[in-house]
Amino acid sequence: MSRVCELTGKGPMTGNNVSHANNRTRRRFLPNLNEVTLTSEKMGRSYSLRISAAALRSVDHRGGLDEFLAKAKDAELSARALKIKREIAKNDGPAELQA
């Protein structure tokens, strides 16, 4: 299982541990990933995703999974999240054009 957020694409970063003597050794900064179940209101079902804590806050801020995916860039989404986004768009269809 990769250490990449399925909604934002956030992954591991690299940097240095710097000691008091200014010795530098390489280290990894891993994203804070959590296995969460998010509910799609338009689809009426739940989806299990592995997302970062920051992405979970963004989903709550935007008003839910449906609204987050509608504004998300396709390049950042995982294959599973992109499939969910297409299902929601297919199910919703013309209603978005009216709003």
Tell me whether residue 58 is in a domain.
Answer: yes
Please give the mean pLDDT across all residues of the chain. Answer: 92
pLDDT at position 98, please?
47
Tell me whether residue 6 is in a domain.
Answer: no
What is the domain extent for residue 24? 13-91
Whether residue 51 contacts residue 36, with contact meaning beta carbons closer than 8 Å, is answered with yes
DSSP label of 72: S
d(CA 26, CA 15): 6
Tell me whether residue 21 is in a domain.
Answer: yes
Q: How many domains does the chain have?
A: 1
What CATH number does the domain containing 40 carry? 2.30.170.40
Whether residue 88 contacts residue 69, with contact meaning beta carbons closer than 8 Å, is answered with yes
Tell me whether residue 71 is in a domain.
Answer: yes
Tell me whether residue 27 is in a domain.
Answer: yes
Tell me whether residue 42 is in a domain.
Answer: yes
pLDDT single digits (tens) 59-84: 999 999 999 999 999 999 999 999 99
Side chain identity at residue 95, one-letter code: A
Torsion of the alpha carbons at 92, 90, 53 and 74, rounded to the nearest 10: -130
Tell me which residue of 79, 29, 81 sits closest to 55, measured CA to CA. 81
Give me the residues of the chain with pLDDT under 50, please.
Answer: 96-99
